[in-house]
Structure 1
Amino acid sequence: MRTSPLATLATLGLLAIAPFALANPIEIQVNNTMSEGGSESAAVERFAEYLEEQAPGRFNVRPFLAGSLGGEDSVLELLNLGQTQISLTGGNWRQQYAPEYDAITVPFLFTTWDEVDNYMETPSGEAMVAQAESRGGLKFLGLQHRGPRHMTANKEIRTPEDLQGFRLRLPSLPIWLTVWEEIGAQVVNVPAPEIYLAMQTRQVDGHENSLSSPYTRRLWEVQDYLIMTSHVQFPWSWVASARWWDGLSEEDQGLISEAVEVAREYGNEQERELDDYYLEALQEEGMTVIEPDIAAFREAAQPAIEQVLSDMADGVRDDALEAAASDQQ
């Protein structure tokens, strides 16, 4: 008489120690546009590890990095359709589904992560999440910090006056164009892969991004200065497909939420370490660090900031300014 696989497992005691091993594992594709090696892939790896630690065999986490399933907008559509499960995504979900609440994208408004986190807890931040969830078919699971965005330049930039006639490369984000033009920069749109060449040929005088950009693009070869403006705290966001999420049990939702929380904290820690490394490495390659007059930049940007906030939903301006002042109290 043949022994069934279940009886064999029971005999060995494996049913007690691995309750999930017999069920088909839940597949979780986790998408991100960055390549392996950064804080993003580290967080995704920690997410998978935590789930395996807590529920061996229950989940099959498959990372899709470097935009292998498409750019952020394409992945957002896949999430809406329930054709992928989770994304560690940038700010497109806020601009696409809830732009009238997206104060986080405004340059020189929030200067610390505490301020950003405080805004997320305001009525406007909660409305942004709720609207994005309803319009985009998303389940918001939390923010993950990225290195703040600074400038690189081919000359010293200390005050807004130094930006007169300065050709600054920016992505095509209307809010950013409005604020930087108000400060005095001459905005130029150049595709990201062409940033180095544009600097080499003097098509642009500088750009803005987190410190990973000048480091990975070897911009010390064509730029001399790092201008530490810290003008945008632009987070990653963990979001899930609502169609997929709603089909999970409460127990599985709880485990995944815990795993995201653990991964976010780990990613934040890794990002801080990497940002320190990039800064030191760029200086070793010969770039000069300049601490500009941030107050002067914020003052110069204020008319544009007021205009942008006033065009948003009722209450956003007050909530944003209150969150921005929270670190100063």
Structure 2
Amino acid sequence: MRRRLSAALGIGAVAIALSGCSLLEPVDVAPEEVAAPEPGSRVLRFANGYEPSHPVNRCGVEPMKEELSAAGIDLRSYPAGQLGSEAALVEQVATGALDIGIAGGSFLGEWYEDAAVVDGAYLFRDVDEFDEATTGPVLADVYDRMAEETGLRVASNWYYGTRHITANKPVTAPEDLQGLKIRTPDAPLYLINFGIMGATATPMALSEVYLGLQQNAIDAQENPIPTIASSNFQEVQDYVSLTGHMVQGVQIVTTDRLLESLEPAQRDALEAAIETARISVRDCIVEEEQQVLAEWKDTGAIEVVEDVDVDAFQERIAAELPSQVPWGDLYLQIQADLATENEEEQ
């Protein structure tokens, strides 16, 4: 880990130096994003890989800008992968080249193994369990230990959506995945999840998936409903099967160094804005999931397959995943704690 961080710091220093000479400009930045900040305000750069219309930006990042301006923070957002992939954003945050980034647990797991647990298949049954665990003490302890070891601080978990499978045939049981080339994000955990579930995982950038499906380079893909819709995968796939194999969040990543550099009032304002955005993004995504599914059922844009044998997939994961990952005991602990809480509530 020290070698990785040291290398990242070296790369970051070179990148910063070269970017001053305009040799590593990742994108054309809109005029308002290079405008001079208001006198006395603190500029914070916030980047993610989602389109501006995605709920993460529309319901989360954009409202934060207005809320933080009153606290003297000028939040500059860079959506749609303008500053790089999730892995690249984490490195930029670690080096100080970026103030805040958004990345999934699988990518944070490359820096601190236990952080990947939130991307374990079938860890959560629904968004309520996701909220319960990601705001609870067990994961708070994981993120504290990660901050001590790597300098990276997870400021919040935002619900990203429940992942389902699209293909040109229904996927109702593990047997339906055999021989199917399914696109996943480029993180090792996805290969483990889908290997257990029965598919052949093919890592690919999200921007390449539409063409890959259209040209039959891949047979299927998996994503939350809002991402499937915003990427128009329903145009090149016949079925969406509601496997619900991952109730997923994305992590808001910064550093204690950055937080400690803020004035106390600014830090409080940032933390409050992130929490308000967490709730807003969750509500927006849940609503969009419901609306898009209803629209697909009504229009027939893609056939919605609901009779999925989810238990069969869950049983495979339960039997094999904990022994194939370094955080298997943590995975089981989170599930046991959630089961206990559910029993107490009943």
* TM-score greater than 0.5 by the shorter chain: yes
How far residue 295 of structure 1 moved from its aligned partner, in angstroms, is 1.0
- Offset at residue 47 of structure 1 (A): 1.1
| Pairing partner for 1:312 from 320, 327, 335 | 327
Q: Following the alignment from structure 1 to structure 2, what is the Cα–Cα distance between the partners of residues 189 and 318?
A: 27
TM-fit CA distance, 1:235: 0.9
CA contact (8 A) 1:115 1:324 kept: yes
Over the residues paired in the alignment, what is the CA RMSD in angstroms?
2.6
C-alpha distance in 1 between matches for 2:280 and 2:69? 16
Instruction: Show CA shifts across 1:228-286 (max 9, x none).
Output: 11111221222223222111222221111111111221222222222223323434253
Alpha-carbon distance change, 172 to 324 in structure 1, aligned in 2, over 3 angstroms: farther
Tell me, in whole angstroms, the C-alpha distance in 2 between the residues paired with 1:210 and 1:195. Answer: 14
Task: Determine the structure 2 residue equivalent to 1:6.
Answer: none
Matches within 5 A, 1:1-329: 24-42=40-58, 43-53=60-70, 55=71, 58-91=72-105, 94-120=108-134, 124-283=138-297, 284-291=299-306, 292-309=308-325, 311-312=326-327, 315-325=329-339, 328-329=342-343
Q: Give the whole-Å Cα distance in 2 for the aligned partners of 1:175 and 1:139.
A: 21
Unaligned runs of 5+ in 2: 1-36
SS in 2 for 1:148: strand
Cα separation, 2, equivalents of 1:184 and 1:92: 20
Q: What letter matches 1:211 in structure 2? A: I
Name the % identity.
Answer: 24
Quote the offset at 1:317 in angstroms: 4.0
Distance 1:239 1:307 in 2: 28
Query: What's the CA shift for 1:62?
Result: 1.3
Greater gyration radius: 1
Please tell me the residue identity of whatever aligns with 2:312. A
Q: For structure 1, which segment, 108-117 or 35-44, has the greater mean C-alpha deviation from structure 2 after superposition?
A: 108-117
TM-score, structure 2 normalization = 0.78
Change (3 A) 1:301 1:40: same
Moved more, 84-93 or 148-157: 84-93
Secondary structure class of the residue paired with 1:320: helix
How much does 1:298 deviate? 0.6
Bigger Cα displacement from structure 2, 210-219 vs 148-157: 210-219
Query: Could you list the per-position Cα deviations for residues 35-63 of structure 1 after superposition, in whole angstroms to 9, with x for gaps in the alignment?
Result: 2112121211111222235x3xx221211
Shift in Å, 1:77 = 2.4
Are the aligned partners of 2:90 and 2:108 in contact in 1 as well (CA < 8 Å)? Answer: no
CA contact (8 A) 1:31 1:89 kept: no
Q: Is the 8 A contact 2:122 2:317 kept in 1?
A: yes
Q: TM-score, with normalisation over the residues of structure 1?
A: 0.82
Cα distance change of structure 1 residues 207 and 324 upon mapping to structure 2, 3 Å threshold: farther
User: In the alignment, residue 50 of structure 2 is paired with which amino acid?
Assistant: M
1:268 aligns to what SS in structure 2? helix
Query: Helix, strand or coil: the match of 1:319?
Result: helix
Moved more, 201-210 or 288-297: 201-210
Cα separation, partners in 2 of 1:268 and 1:216, compared to 1, 3 Å? same
Residue 17 of structure 1 aligns with which residue?
none
- Stretches of 4+ moved more than 6 A in 1? none
Q: Is the Cα contact below 8 Å between 2:157 and 2:278 reproduced in 1?
A: yes
Asked if the contact 1:171/1:190 (under 8 Å) is kept, the reply is: yes
Higher relative contact order (CA 8 A, sep 6+): 1
What SS is found at the alignment partner of 2:160? coil
In 2, the alpha carbon distance for the partners of 1:327 and 1:224 equals 39
Letter in 2 for 1:45: E
Who is 2:17 aligned against? none
2:179 aligned counterpart, secondary structure? coil
CA distance in 2, matches of 1:93, 1:171: 10
